[in-house]
Amino acid sequence: MNEHLRIDRLRWWHLPEVARMETAIFGPEAWSEGILWTELSAGNDYRAVFDDDTGRDDAAIAGYMGIALGDTEAWINNIAVDAAYRRRGIARMLMDDALARSRAAGAKAVYLEVAVDNVPAQRLYDAYGFYGIGVRKNYYQHTGTDAAVMRMDL
What value does the mean pLDDT take over residues 110-115?
97
pLDDT of residue 119: 93
Catalytic residues: 113, 125
pLDDT of residue 57: 53
- Catalogue all structural domains in the chain, each as residue range(s) with its CATH number: 5-109 (3.40.630.30)
| Buried b or exposed e, range 37-73, using 16+ CB within 10 angstroms | eebbeeebbbbbbbbeeeeeeebbbbbbbbbebeeeb
pLDDT of residue 2: 60
Contact 33, 77 (CB under 8 A): no
pLDDT tens-digit series, residues 31-81: 999 999 999 999 899 999 998 765 455 688 999 999 999 989 999 999 999
Picking from 8, 15, 27, the residue whose alpha carbon sits closest to that of residue 94 is 8
Is residue 142's pLDDT more than 80? yes
Grade residue 26 by pLDDT with cuts at 50, 70 and 90. Answer: very high
pLDDT of residue 4: 84
CA distance linking residue 102 with residue 57, whole number of Å: 31
Grade residue 22 by pLDDT with cuts at 50, 70 and 90. Answer: very high
Beta-bridge mates of residue 135 = 148
pLDDT of residue 54: 55
pLDDT of residue 56: 52
Sort strands 109-115 and 131-140 into parallel, antiparallel or unpaired.
unpaired
Tell me the percentage of the chain whose pLDDT exceeds 90.
82
What value does the mean pLDDT take over residues 96-116?
96
Sort strands 45-51 and 5-9 into parallel, antiparallel or unpaired.
antiparallel
